Structure 1
Amino acid sequence: MPHQGTPVGRVHALYRYPVKSTSGQPLVTAAVTSSGLEHDRRWAVYTHDGGIASGKRTRRFRPVPGLLDWTSECDGPDGVPLLRSPAGVPYRVDDPAASEALTAGLGQELTLREGTTLQHHDESPLHLVTTSSLAALADLLGGAIDERRFRPNIVLDTGSAPLFLDRNWAGVELAIGDDVVVTVDAGMPRCTMIDQPQAGTAAGPRALKALSVHNGVEFGVQARADRSGVVSVGDLVTLRGTAS
């Protein structure tokens, strides 16, 4: 039964990122699969050495300053995303002109590629953030903070009391709406991307330092879908199991 358990809130917002490390696309309804939200991070930008363009440097990722100023969306019937330049010029991601525009605009050789067996997400297929945690961080920073800075897939309205509520959710199940059940795996480790500006979102106060002091450099949680389905803004969310 989807609504068995303890009610913890409702879906406040949904986002997907059809091209990884570009600004997100807000949604009212989204399909949730074992790979995350449908079309989320299905495409990515690759650097000349085969790294995946991001805001950080790791074995897999390469920093590409300015990529967050580009946006992506996926609304067409063929499922091919559109990439938009900071000036609003649209490019189909499967058109070589899109890679050429990125290369020219960002000053290095870049190529768009569709995902195969290599997943483009960083830590987990789904990323959840709560309004309680947003309020707790806002208290630490001395002002409201834009949820989009954390690039979540699902924002849960758990109220306005300032509390890092979700850090105790590791191992629990969340039932979302009538169909979807996800398991929370662990907190989401953060990097410098949360302090970088992106299209439509100013960087604001430094969040990474505050999280390193007060929340173990984590914000939000990693999750995976145990049961696929459709979720919508306003859906009830219930917690199954015991928070640690």
Structure 2
Amino acid sequence: MADNGGVTERLWRYPIKSTGGERLRSAEVDLRGLDGDRLYAVRDVNGRFGSGKNTRRFRRMDGLLHLSSRFPGGTAQPPELLDTDGHVVGDPTAFLRAYLGRDDVELAREGEVSHFDQLPVSVLTTATLDWVRREVPDVPVDERRFRPNLLVRTPPGTPPCVEDEWIGRRARLGSTVCLELQRSSERCVMTNQAQQDLPHAPAVLKAIAAAHGNRLYVLATVLTPGTVRVGDPLVLG
């Protein structure tokens, strides 16, 4: 039975991993995810990618969230990197080395190692986002803290964390795109970090950890490519 999950309210992609993203009216979706999403990253000499955490694949590089990135003319060319004032920088690698205070980094396109932390498409609902706001009423919260690809406006009365109920189902967006909703997303310290006009806020991750096991929204893979647009309904099968 098909169920109405809501309507696509905002679309986001992040051309350079761990920087601020760009809002889109529509996006092409292929098996890798949204076209251009996390296609580039800040890479160090050991092949680790700039992030808010240290792992086998990622290296903590504080300050990246204060920058932003965009593809002004399509994804065939490298993205633009914007500084903290929103100005396009001329040489992204040179700027990043000065900004981060390290000479072992460069802007790099994805190769054999994926830039994604987990799965390629992430879906957050307004029901869940509103719940987080209620949990931390003194902290500015919007979807940028969680870096989803899709923010879905859910019908009135939808419970928070409804995404948990979607796991294992398929979701159709518009006339072509079909996703397989596989699991919830484990949140990390990037949720707390300051970015642009959002302050550092440890209370956000603490609230999610206490109430929902440090997990939020749903991650998906792409079954059928196509185009997704703001206003597309999300229909669960």
**TM bucket by the smaller chain?**
over 0.9
Post-superposition offset of 1:206: 1.8
SS in 2 for 1:212: helix
Distance 1:84 1:177 in 2: 32
Distance 1:160 1:197 in 2: 31
| Counterpart position of 1:51 | 48
What letter matches 1:98 in structure 2? P
Q: TM-score, normalised by structure 2?
A: 0.93
Post-superposition offset of 1:167: 1.3
| Counterpart position of 1:66 | 63
What letter matches 2:38 in structure 1? R
Segments ≥4 residues shifted beyond 6 Å: none
Distance 1:121 1:200 in 2: 25
Matched, 1:90 2:88: yes
Distance 1:28 1:238 in 2: 19
Match of 1:139 among 112, 134, 137: 134
Q: TM-score, normalised by structure 1?
A: 0.90
SS in 1 for 2:89: strand
Gaps of 5+ in 1: none
Distance 2:77 2:167 in 1: 33
Structure 1 residues 123-166: Cα deviation after superposition (integer angstroms, max 9, x where no partner): 01111100111122222222562111100001111145451110
Distance 1:53 1:205 in 2: 21
Post-superposition offset of 1:230: 0.4
What letter matches 1:153 in structure 2? N
Give the stretch that moved more between structures: 64-73 or 132-141: 132-141
Give the stretch that moved more between structures: 68-77 or 178-187: 68-77
Matched, 1:209 2:206: yes
Distance 2:34 2:234 in 1: 17
Structure 1 residues 38-86: Cα deviation after superposition (integer angstroms, max 9, x where no partner): 0001100012332110001111101101111111001214432101111
Structure 1 residues 78-115: Cα deviation after superposition (integer angstroms, max 9, x where no partner): 432101111333236xxxx2111111011112211101
Matched, 1:153 2:149: yes
Matched, 1:22 2:19: yes
Give the stretch that moved more between structures: 75-84 or 47-56: 75-84
Matched, 1:237 2:220: no
Alignment root-mean-square deviation, CA? 1.7
What letter matches 1:169 in structure 2? W
SS in 2 for 1:88: coil
SS in 2 for 1:101: helix
SS in 2 for 1:91: coil
Distance 1:233 1:202 in 2: 28
| Counterpart position of 1:102 | 96
Post-superposition offset of 1:211: 1.0
Distance 2:156 2:16 in 1: 32
**What is the number of residues matched between the two proteins?**
233
Post-superposition offset of 1:203: 3.8
Distance 2:192 2:156 in 1: 23
SS in 2 for 1:202: coil
Post-superposition offset of 1:205: 6.2
Distance 2:6 2:124 in 1: 12
Distance 1:59 1:25 in 2: 28
Matched, 1:128 2:123: yes
Post-superposition offset of 1:170: 1.3
Give the stretch that moved more between structures: 198-207 or 107-116: 198-207
Distance 1:59 1:167 in 2: 28
What letter matches 2:81 in structure 1? L
